[in-house]
Structure 1
Amino acid sequence: MKITCIVVLMSAFDFVYSISRGKHYVKEKVCQEYAMLGKEKFKAIGMVLYSQKFSTGTFEEVNAVTDEMVKLAETCCTENSSADCYDTGATAMSEMSCSKDSPFPKHPGIASCCKEDGLERKLCLAALRVTSEELPSLQESTNEEICQKFKEDPKEYSLRYFYEFSRRHGSIPAGLILNATDSYLRMVGTCCSLSESTICFLRERLQLKDSNHFLRLTSNLCHNQAHLPYFKIGLTAYYGHILNDSLEDILPITTHLQEGLSKCCLNPNPECLITELMQVKTVLCNDTSLSGKYRKLHDCCSKPPLDVLSCVETSESESPPQQTEIKKPTDTDLCKEGSATVLDKYFFEIGRKHNHLTLPVLASVFADIGDYIHKGSACKLIKKSPLEKIETFVSKTDGLCQQYKKLDFTVFKERLVKSVQEEMPDASKTVVDTKAKQWVEFTSTCCSRKAPALRCRKLIDLIVGDTRDD
């Protein structure tokens, strides 16, 4: 599918709410694409875009708003349509979004937009993008079940797959989603038409393995970039323990990556993100101070550009973490001008020392400390510094994640309960069980490389609590 179609239609599906005087040329572009793609393909793109935009909406709600958009194009892209057909239809859609019995996706942001009038309401609705807690991975049915559902109603099966897949990857370019869903549905259509479908599915899935791996990597990076406030320094600390090098050597690499993600993740054109990720290889592998120092980086740099990051992330650190005590910033360091640099260096050393901590854990902990310190008025709150508490949490988490990866889950859970009992000797069994359950949920959720950012932040808040209350 042409990238230009995706870009134009991305603006079209938002433009339906934000259309204003002087921008009717967009209607012409939408009508050109509608005529070229046809109704079914036009709707498929709409399902992808609206499923990403409203990930908490039901299939019926997302389908309803997509159908309305298709109907608008179908009605207003005819020779006999009136000059104001598109504008009138867009206004009707915004009014329908705000009606009490609206069939469209519902969430708190819409209520706020509906307090506005006219163009302001349309602009507000166009800017909406739901931030939801991570959805579980899409569980694929057996080959037989897939083919049964597909043969019963190919169109319905395809639309539901667009919906379920897209809402789970809401932070990456829509073009990547379209490529992935098209490949999957092509596989289903081909294999379900054969008598020996099992062999076909196996062959096709092997061919899609690399592209699916790349999609998971980009989805995780973009999701973290979108939802972790301290993403950049968290990423730097994370790469610090992978490459075991200095902040000065690591920072240019992670700065380049973070800026590329910030610019391209929500750009519907996937070429933007692909180009940025390819350029990371140049930045990472042309640094002789790094590539000449570590064999694993040399090996990763021999791979194709889009495989380099994945290779680096899955590599184990070649050197053991530092055992020396991390020098804490003093109150004076944190209160004087340039304290952000001091704090970043401190964060980096925490990540470099604790090599079992994931990016969401590092960034969430850094956010707790940074927000606490920077919200202090004239450093009045620094007297109750959270650094000691956070370091205790970080050290414990690092050890637990190491155990979680090595031990059988039952053994790990038993040891964890015993550890909580030793830490809280006077607590009741109910209190101990509750705390142990929190830690088990936290480690089982947040110790993996693809840990869900929003969920980990909530679990950390639950376990650590508000540092200002101590």
Structure 2
Amino acid sequence: MKGALVLLLLLVVVVACGHAEHRGKPYVRDKVCKEYRTMGKDDFRALTLIMNSKKFSNATFEEVSHLVHEIVSLAETCCTDDADPSCYDAGSSALSAKSCDPNSPFPRHAGVDACCAHTGLERKLCMAALQHSPREIPRYAEPDGDELCANFAKDPKDFADRFLYEYASNYGQAPLPVLLGSARSFLSMVSTCCISPAPTTCFLKEKLERKTLSLLTLLSNRGCSRFAAYGKDKMKFSYLTMFAQKIPSASFEEIFPLAEDAAEAFAQCCDSMAEDCMHKKV
């Protein structure tokens, strides 16, 4: 999983990092194509959708979908056995140029014009660094079972895409493995309960089973958002203050290790690709 996620980042930003640049453009293409073949088009596309929804949290579903389509098409075209060796680099350059078009269908960002003043790798690196500020308060509200099933029945694929977009853009600060696990669990619940002879009972049971994972997603999104804003030391002080207010009878010696452990957990897990990191620490 870790290798796939890291390498997908190379594709999502469509840029060769310095290490890859030294080893040559075929190195980037070969690594991306290996992951595309290993994951398969559908999983590759779903993860690309999640990554770009996190990255461009204020973009519309249509804008993110356009970008995802181009990225997946690039891999699909350039990862065939008979693809020209220059296909990937040429395609990523074309994608970068398309982002500079005033009528680009991709997510908008105030920094695009400055990036487009550059060319080649410098432009790609600049584009890669662009991202929207994460949403401070998640706006996603889960519909009731009847509405979920009605939307699912209309178009299961579109339903899944829109959910992944909404969930990732609202909880974009949560560690990627937590986000993936929670999203996968939700879609499994919907696909199971919407064909159940007793959907209401099914949803109640499944939501109860998902409660821990849903809470973990909410808490880790909130905690990682604070960690990104304050850093480890300030976050530790924040927890010290919170614990002191909530447990006024506790001594400094008692609450300090708790605050230290909480800050350390987010320091280790917010950017971790380990699937169980946050589960173990929080």
Q: TM-score, normalised by structure 2?
A: 0.88
Deviations 1:241-274 (A, max 9, x none): 2343454554444344324423431344444444
- Aligned position for 2:238: 234
Give the one of 69, 84, 87 matched to 1:85.
Answer: 87
Distance 1:156 1:12 in 2: 23
Distance 1:173 1:89 in 2: 30
Deviations 1:61-104 (A, max 9, x none): 11111111100100010011111111111111111112211111
Question: Which moves more between the two structures, 128-137 or 181-190?
Answer: 128-137
Identity of aligned residues (%): 36
- Aligned position for 2:11: 12
| Secondary structure, counterpart of 2:15 in structure 1 | helix
Distance 2:60 2:263 in 1: 32
What residue identity is the alignment partner of 1:240? A
Please say if residues 7 and 269 of structure 1, whose CA atoms lie closer than 8 Å, have aligned partners that are also in contact: no
Structure with max Cα Rg: 1
Relative contact order (alpha carbons < 8 A, sep ≥ 6): 1 or 2 greater? 2
Alpha-carbon distance change, 256 to 196 in structure 1, aligned in 2, over 3 angstroms? closer
Gaps of 5+ in 1: 278-305, 307-470
The answer to whether the aligner puts 1:264 opposite 2:269 as a matched pair is yes
Please say if residues 138 and 165 of structure 1, whose CA atoms lie closer than 8 Å, have aligned partners that are also in contact: yes
Alpha-carbon distance change, 194 to 274 in structure 1, aligned in 2, over 3 angstroms? closer
Give the one of 115, 118, 127 matched to 1:116.
Answer: 118
Deviations 1:424-450 (A, max 9, x none): xxxxxxxxxxxxxxxxxxxxxxxxxxx
Alpha-carbon distance change, 232 to 129 in structure 1, aligned in 2, over 3 angstroms? farther
Gaps of 5+ in 2: none
Q: CA deviation at 1:199?
A: 1.1
- Aligned position for 1:150: 152
Question: Which moves more between the two structures, 215-224 or 255-264?
Answer: 255-264
Q: TM-score, normalised by structure 1?
A: 0.55
Please say if residues 17 and 91 of structure 1, whose CA atoms lie closer than 8 Å, have aligned partners that are also in contact: no
Please say if residues 72 and 86 of structure 1, whose CA atoms lie closer than 8 Å, have aligned partners that are also in contact: yes
Distance 2:267 2:11 in 1: 22
Q: CA deviation at 1:115?
A: 2.7
Alpha-carbon distance change, 119 to 263 in structure 1, aligned in 2, over 3 angstroms? farther
- Structure 2 counterparts to residues 275-354 of structure 1, below 5 A: 275=280, 277=281, 306=282
Alpha-carbon distance change, 273 to 191 in structure 1, aligned in 2, over 3 angstroms? closer
Question: Which moves more between the two structures, 150-159 or 136-145?
Answer: 136-145
Alpha-carbon distance change, 132 to 74 in structure 1, aligned in 2, over 3 angstroms? same
What residue identity is the alignment partner of 1:17? V
Q: CA deviation at 1:220?
A: 1.1
Cα RMSD of the aligned pairs, angstroms, is 2.2
| Secondary structure, counterpart of 2:111 in structure 1 | helix
What residue identity is the alignment partner of 1:237? T
Please say if residues 110 and 125 of structure 1, whose CA atoms lie closer than 8 Å, have aligned partners that are also in contact: yes
What residue identity is the alignment partner of 2:5? I
Aligned length: 275
What residue identity is the alignment partner of 2:239? L
- Aligned position for 1:423: none
- Aligned position for 1:215: 217
Alpha-carbon distance change, 203 to 251 in structure 1, aligned in 2, over 3 angstroms? same
What residue identity is the alignment partner of 1:34? Y
Distance 2:154 2:148 in 1: 10
| Secondary structure, counterpart of 2:146 in structure 1 | helix
Deviations 1:173-200 (A, max 9, x none): 2221111111111111111112321111
